[in-house]
A and B are shown apart, each in its own frame.
Chain A
Amino acid sequence: MPFTFIDIERQKSWKIGLFFVILLLMYFFSALVIARMVFGNIFAKGVIQGAFNAIYIFIFAAMFAFVHFFLLSYDVTETIKEKLGATDLDPEDDLHKRLKNIMAEIHVATGNKRKMTCAVIPSPAMNALAANDFKGNALIAITEGLVSRLSRDQTEAVIAHEAYHILSGDCRESTLAVSLFGFSMPFMEKIMIYWGRLYLLSFILFKLGYLLNMLISREREYRADAGAVRMTRNPLALAEVLYLLSKNWRGTGLISSDLEGLCIVNPRLDELDESEGFFADLFSSHPPIEKRTEILLNMAHAGVAELEARRKQTATKSLPEETEKKYYALDALYAWQGPYAVAELAALPWFSPLTWVSDGSETTTKASQIPALRETLKTRIAPLEGKISEYPCPVCRQPLIQQHYEQIRIYPCNFCGGTLVDWDKLPRIIIRRENTWSEKIKAQACATLKENQRAYIMRRSKNNKTKAVSLQCPKCKRSMQRTFYSYVYLVAIDRCACGATWFDKDELSMLQCMIENKMAGEDFAEEERRNDRRAPAPRQ
């Protein structure tokens, strides 16, 4: 029977509430058991006195749990931010701007009940988590990998899911549950040595509490899915996200185990998570993605086949078109060169509006006669793809152009082809994979890497420091330092203390190409050596 999201939400709320009450009762019961062990029989002096004693014990136990809860959750959002290196949204970044808009939309959808902030974890993993602390800060953290790879609707579904965790108090309840049952095992084991008789009973109680917790956690995920659909009315987008997440890296090792209950999918890949039944229900914090997706697809009246089709459709849509027209050009020595694509033609130093070109057929015309070429020539004369910035190029002293590349603001120079990037934006450029690389760049990257490896080894063995000409930072006018991007990806860059980083022509794309194709490390060196018997590549 297909449930609507309202039914699911109501049903799960009942279930969670009931389980939570049982959890609390169990906690107080174990407190009573401990008291029995420590103080002896509290009902020894009659029922009324015993009842009073029990109430004292309850109050004490509640206070104990509350203090622990307070300590645990006082600063939890700051701790998470620190632990995962999450940063606030960058207002100059188009994708982050979109995320900010989405947050605002979710605020509207929930009736502005609660102020939530969003932070981005700089990691290519795909996951998101929510937390709120005692001071009333609520935080939704989402990885850069997720921001970059999801469509607008999909991101909205994720944010809605996390927002529901915060609004419904899931985050607070799960922290409370952890403080009720999480802390006590080592502490108890020490005490219990002296009172061995009831040890087993309270041990079982605490273990049961833990299992119940896991069960509640699973129910919460179902409820948050339903809640997200209530906000966005788009079950298909959430189903797509789950489907995508199930096929990708979720951040194992990045997100520590005490935070996993707060994530949208369990970062630990666990066999139990994907199985159903009694044991799975007891031991894992997240329900099987398969089942979650099925419920969502039921709401959308769609099947897995449609999901797969949509995924393929978006995948093919993002591929670059290969139907670009190629031209032959007549060079200064009256020889035909080519074929060139329009961009390649424009990059030729001898190409001008008066050059004779042909598209392979019989006719030859001047370049200025062909509209497409005229446009490129125009942009070469006045390169105004973006605004002229206030910074000068450190190499050729021309003003840099302000442009967006992979949706991030960068400052290229149209004369020498170099690029100025902020150091903290580099990881984002590397993570986002919107561009594909031509064979030329690949070959160039490969050659540069080998060349620089050799040079680096030579320099280290001779131990002399070559003094390169230092460039002046366009932003703060101090001199920049020439280093490699890293000692694995040996691309020469100029860095300034203020964060500005200068790449010479093609070096940025080469770096991206190297990292995306994993051109460094043992495997690559091995392969290169096989290809290149004459001179074995130096190892680091």
Chain B
Amino acid sequence: MVGLIVLAGIVLIVVWGIVTFNRLVSLRNEVQNSWKQIDVQLKRRHDLIPNLVSVVKGTMEFEQDTLEKVINARAKAVSAGSMQDKVNAENMLTQALGKLFAVMENYPQLKSNQNIMQLQEELTSTENRIGFARQLYNDLVAQYRIKQEVFPNNIFVAFFGVFNKEVYFEAEEEARKVPQADTSIRPKS
């Protein structure tokens, strides 16, 4: 009888172990996948910027400085290698773009241009998508970390040691603001 109970206990622990392991693995993959999703959206932004610059260039002759900053930031972001570099470069780009949008407000003739309105809509959408992708990534990382750190999972993780902690995609406070009147109130909750 005692043997039976011990056997049942061992079976239970093994089943729990398998379930936890699989859950951790699937979470890890989800985290990696969501990081790739950010990449896809960033690529989209990189592709859109040259179009915007070429359309805006003629009208905004006096703002060469702002435009150049955007172009440089884009070049840096495209060529960034390591993850931390990438995060920094993208934050720079977001800032530069935000400034460009703010300056564009001073040129009413840009607003009547159908092409620019289209591009701006596309860029707004892309900014939102990047924001959402990042939000999803951070949510998943938080889930993954919680799953690793709660008792008794932490012992299990230390025993196997195949799960590394993912880093959050952090943005500077300034960069968090999307350059648009309506979205400025976006509490972090």
Residues of A participating in the B interface, judged by any CB pair closer than 8 Å? 4-5, 94, 97-98, 101-102, 104-106, 108-112, 151-153, 156, 229, 231, 233-237, 299-301, 386, 404
Query: A301–B187 Cα gap in the complex (Å)?
Result: 9
**Measured between alpha carbons, how far is A300 from B136 in the docked complex, in Å?**
20
The reply to whether A108 and B185 form a contact with Cβ atoms under 8 Å apart is no
Residue from B30, B117, B187 within 8 A of A111 (CB atoms):
B30
29 contacts between A and B (CB under 8 A): A97-B121, A101-B122, A101-B125, A104-B129, A105-B125, A105-B128, A105-B132, A108-B37, A108-B129, A109-B132, A109-B135, A111-B30, A111-B33, A111-B37, A112-B37, A152-B124, A152-B182, A153-B182, A156-B128, A233-B135, A233-B186, A233-B187, A233-B188, A233-B189, A234-B186, A236-B185, A300-B187, A301-B187, A404-B114
Does any Cβ of A come within 8 Å of B64's Cβ? no
Q: Is the CB–CB distance between A299 and B182 below 8 Å? A: no
The CA-CA distance from A97 to B117 in the complex, in Å, is 12
Known pairs A108-B133, A109-B135, A404-B114; list 18 more (Cβ under 8 Å). A4-B189, A5-B189, A94-B121, A101-B125, A105-B129, A105-B132, A108-B129, A108-B136, A111-B33, A111-B140, A153-B182, A233-B186, A233-B187, A233-B188, A234-B185, A236-B185, A237-B182, A386-B114
User: Which B47-68 residues have C-beta < 8 A from chain A?
Assistant: none
Task: Kindly state the separation between the CA atoms of A151 and B128 in the bound complex, as whole angstroms.
Answer: 14
A98 touches B182 (CB 8 A): no
Inside 8 A of A5's CB, which chain B residues have their CB?
Answer: 189
Q: Which residues of B contact A (CB under 8 A)?
A: 30, 33-34, 37, 41, 114, 117-118, 121-122, 124-125, 128-129, 132-133, 135-136, 140, 182-183, 185-189
Contacts A109-B135, A111-B37, A386-B114 known; A299 to B189 CB distance under 8 Å?
Answer: yes
Interface residue from B41, B121, B136 paired with A98 (Cβ < 8 Å): B121
Residues from chain A with a CB closer than 8 A to the CB of B185 are: 234, 236, 300
Q: A101-B125, A108-B133, A386-B114 are in contact. Are A153 and B183 (CB under 8 A)?
A: yes
Which B residues touch A156, using CB under 8 A?
128
Leading 6 A-B pairs by shortest Cβ distance: A109-B132, A101-B125, A108-B132, A108-B129, A105-B128, A153-B182
Residues in B neighbouring A112, C-beta threshold 8 A: 37
Other-chain contact of A102, B125, B140, B189 (Cβ < 8 Å): B125
Q: Which residue of B lies closest to A302 (CB)?
A: B185
Asked whether, in the complex, the Cβ of B135 is within 8 Å of the Cβ of A101, the reply is no
Q: How far is the CA of A109 from the CA of B128 in the complex (A)?
A: 9
**Across the interface, do B135 and A111 meet the contact criterion of CB distance under 8 Å?**
no
Q: How far is the CB of B105 from chain A (nearest CB, A)?
A: 14
A94 to B183, CA, bound (A): 20
Complex interface: chain B residues within 8 A of A94 (CB): 117-118, 121
B30 (CB) vs chain A CBs: closest residue? A111
CA distance A233 to B124 in the complex (A): 16
State A5–B187 Cα separation when bound (angstroms). 12
CA distance A236 to B37 in the complex (A): 27
Q: Write out the residue numbers on chain A whose beta carbons fall within 8 Å of the beta carbon of B118.
A: 94, 97
Q: Which residue of A lies closest to B112 (CB)?
A: A385
The docked-state distance in angstroms from the alpha carbon of A97 to that of B33 is 27
Q: In the complex, what's the smallest C-beta–C-beta distance from B147 to chain A, in angstroms?
A: 16
Q: B136 contacts which chain A residues (CB < 8 A)?
A: 108-111
Chain A contacts of B188 at CB under 8 A?
A: 233
Q: What residue in chain A is nearest B37 (Cβ atoms)?
A: A108
In the bound complex, CA of A111 to CA of B133 (Å): 8
Identify the closest chain A residue to B130 (Cβ).
Answer: A108
Complex CA gap A33/B120 in Å reads 64
Identify which of A101, A108, A152 contacts B41 (C-beta below 8 A). A108
Shortest CB-to-CB span from B186 to chain A, Å, is 6
Which of chain A's residues has its CB closest to B122's CB? A101
Report the separation of the CA atoms of residues A513 and B125 in the bound assembly, to the nearest whole angstrom.
34
